[in-house]
Each structure stands twice: as C-alpha cells, then as structure tokens.
A and B are shown apart, each in its own frame.
Chain A
C-alpha cells in the first residue's frame, strides 16, 4: 500500500467512525456537520475531474451546484403544493423521490456544462476562467430576479425528500446515503483516471497539440470531462439542498464556486481524496473558527496561503509525498 492509499484509508475510516461515534454519543449536530462535509466533498470530487484531470480552471461550478439544488427545490415545491410543473403538452408532476431528483439534477447540470463548455472551451487560461465566471453570474442574477421560485429569498421545502427503504429524516440515514454516493463517485473517479479516456484527457491537459497529432480531439475530451464534472457537482447540489431543506441563489454565487475550488486546492488538486480532505478541513475550520470569530475566513485564508506556498499537492500531498504517475 502506498502512503497515499494509507492516507486515503484513514480519511475513509474517519468518515465512518466519527458519525458512528456521534450516533452512539447522541450528537446529531456532528452528524449534520459530517453530512455537510461529505456533500461538499462530492461537489469538489466533481470539480476535480475538470480541474485536476482536465486542467480546466472553472470558476463557475456553483452553476451546477445551484442547478442541482434548484432541481430539487423546483420538483419538491411542486410536489408539496400539489401543482404540476407543466401541463402542456404533457403533464409533469413534482416529486419527493430522491432518485428522480438526483437524476434530474445530473441531467440538468450535464446539459448546462455542455452548453457552457461549448463556448468556454473556445478559450483557455484566464479567458476560460472569466467565461465560466460570467456564466455563473448570469445564472445567479437570473435566479435572483425570477420570482416563480422564491427569487432572492430562495425556496423552502418542509420535509426532506424520500429514498425507498430509508427514513431520510434520521440524520445518520441521510448521512449514510450521502456517503454511499460519495464512495460510488470516488470509485468512478478513480476508474476514470486510469481509463483510456483518462489517459487521453491527462495528455490533453499537458500537451493538447500532441493529442491532436495522434488523431484525437483535445477540446472534445475536455468538454466531456466538464460535462461529467458538472453532473457530479449537480448531484451534490441536490443533496445540499436536501440537507438544508432550502435552496437559494447563494448556492449559485461565485463565492460558492470559489469555495468548491478551495476544497480541491486545500486537499490536493488531481488527488483522488484531495477534495474529500479539503471539504472536511473546510467544514471543521468553519465550525471551530466560526465559533470563535465571525471573521473566521481570515484564518481560512492563512491556511490556504500556507498550503499553496508549501507547493502543489495540498494536504494529501504533504502527508503522502509527491505524486507518482499512476501505473
């Protein structure tokens, strides 16, 4: 077992043991915090596919996070008000079923990523960052000014959505569901990185002109990576909205995009468990330092600074050493 694998195993163990302890000690708030961390981790695992593998610095991942949130909010609000989403040309009812909501969130985010990617991938570097940011702001202001789903005030859902066979209102059950999804996506992410597609994407990040001369299309590779990435972050958004039973334009804001990126950078760009470590550390700091000072993000800034200055690789990089080309 490599050192990185050992570090990953410890993180995994903590994700099981801490909420387990919290259940035993009857500390439901800790379970809620852990759920928050796991959902953020999921969002960041999504970003890491675009950022770590594809080298796409997307400062607009809140779009997918927020669209996932609104997919949940819109479907569930129609279900709780007993009004159909659409009556013509065919009737679409709202739903309180998580699997349906997740699928909707994934599809909607994937389509958004496809459209944004088609335009943004015509550029690179700073321009790519700016275009993804601009799309984020467009959708953010659209959500604020569209009154049908709460506008600026957001949308409250009274009862958490259901999953067959589980009582999602019990914190540990909802946590288990989120953790299971995170593990599935981590597995997918690990497989993706080793797959032929991952190999080509990895090369498209480093030497796009080489990828072209072997007959592959680097832009299309990156576009597919962005779609997969957006879909995963969208799924996380649906879960986040369900955790809070609330969705608002804040989920679409560029601060949210920045936070998702911070998770990845703290943990380690292109490291499988980097986003997980980053999200856990962020939620811990938010909770611990947030209790001390309203201005806790100053300390977050210092932590981020130290990590970035210490060289690439984030926390996983510090603990596990320099990354190796996987073989």
Chain B
C-alpha cells in the first residue's frame, strides 16, 4: 500500500438514495495496469470523477503521490501529473490534431498567459506535442482537422494529449470504446508498453483488452468493489462470475 502512486480510501458518493460509490478502496502501484470493470451503472464513471477531481466524494480520501488530493480541483491534480482520457473524446474538433496536442504541451508548461508569438512556432511546445503524436502514430496527420479523424484516431489523440503532460499516472475511461478489433489490438499494444512509464488505472468494457493488459482487476458492482485480484483470481472468483462475467469468462 505504501508504494501506491494513486489510491482511494473508503470513498463514498451518493446521489439521493443511490449509492454510486460505496466505500471504495483501491490503489494503483508503479508499473502496473489496474483495470476496473463492472456492468453498466456500477459506478465506474462516478469513481473516475472522484479520482480525477470533477466530483467530490461524500466521505473517504483520494491520495496521489503521497498527498491527500481529495479536495483538489481537476486542474490541480493534472498539474501534479494525473493524465486523464475521456470516454467520449474531449477534443477541440475545429482545431488540427497538432493544436490539440499543443494544448497539452501548453498545459504542461504551465504558462498559458502568452499573448504574443505563435503557438505553432513555439519550439518547446511543438517538440513536446509532436513527440506525443509520433508515439501514438498520429505524426502524419498532425495538420488534419480533428473533426476529420476516424474514431480510432481520435481515441489515439486522446491518449497523445495525456502523454504531452508526462503524467505520473494515467486514468483512462474506456479508451477502447467504439474501436474495431484492429484498432483495439493496436491500442492494447501501445498501453502495454506505456505501463513502465506510468501506471494506468483502466476503466474498460473490452474484456479481451482487460485480460490481455491488466496486472490486477477490480470488479465494481452497485458501487462496491466485490473483488480485486489478478486476472486468474478474478476469472475464478465465483461472486464475480455470478455478478458480472457470466459467459465472457
């Protein structure tokens, strides 16, 4: 527990009578991919919201890099090095791919109050943005308008924007959502190599990807973590089989 990069301790969040998070404790350790799975409505998005800072838990704490960040904003957590990707691509569609990556580089620089000088011709910003695009294989489409990208390319750009921040941990909300099997395979390969750089908390529906990638899996049902363990342990867990996996295992 002590060496966890990111952890939640008993976080609880209710919406009226619905307990969307019920005493959730989990952690993300260096070098691992920790997948969170669960049926629709299990509270995965609520959990991600509380970890990334867009939702405040009713009780419990969130710790990141040894600090209690429970009351910190999304922005403050990002500045500490929490790299997040969205389930539904949150990209500036009117802008080019490079401009989207530059936004991440600008955020990483922490100096947005520059009113003169071209952002596109700013060497440090551009190098950082282009390096991230090259890593996910979008270097060739840097000058394309984001709206013209394929769905799969947008998913990759999501990851690239997070990469520009050089995060200490990634929180990814269904990065495979809507990808075909080919795209999914490609992204799986990439995330596999990414874990040595920074651990990934992966919320994902795609079971093939989860079983291929995850070092550990936590299963969320009705806001509770019913099991945490390695892939084999989770596959074998009778409660998990009953609640969720069914035939998929």
Contacts and interface: CB of A to CB of B under 8 A. Distances in A.
A215 B54 CA distance: 13
Given A209-B54, A213-B52, A215-B75, A195 B93 contact: no
Nearest to A217: B75
Contacts of A294: none
Contacts of A288: none
Chain B contact-residue range equals 35 or more
Interface string B73-94: 1110011000110100011111
A195 B99 CA distance: 11
B193 interface: no
Contact of A196 (B75, B96, B114): B114
Interface stretch (B4-12, B25-33, B105-113, B200-208): B105-113
B95 A197 contact: no
A216 interface: yes
B112 A196 contact: yes
B15 interface: no
Contacts of A324: 145
B86 to A, nearest CB: 7
The winner among B96, B106, B125, B162 for most chain A CB atoms within 10 A is: B106
B104 interface: yes
- Give the contact-size bracket for chain A: 20 to 34
A206 B103 contact: no
A327 B96 contact: yes
Contacts of A200: 103, 106-107, 112
B150 interface: no
B196 interface: no
Contacts of A197: 112-115
B143 A198 contact: no
B122 interface: yes
A232 B73 CA distance: 32
A191 interface: yes
A207 interface: yes
A221 B95 contact: no
B113 A213 contact: no
Contact of A202 (B73, B78, B83, B95): B95
Contacts of B74: 209, 212-213
Given A209-B54, A212-B54, A224-B113, 15 more contacts: A191-B116, A194-B118, A195-B114, A195-B117, A199-B99, A199-B119, A206-B95, A213-B83, A213-B84, A213-B162, A215-B75, A215-B108, A215-B110, A216-B106, A221-B112
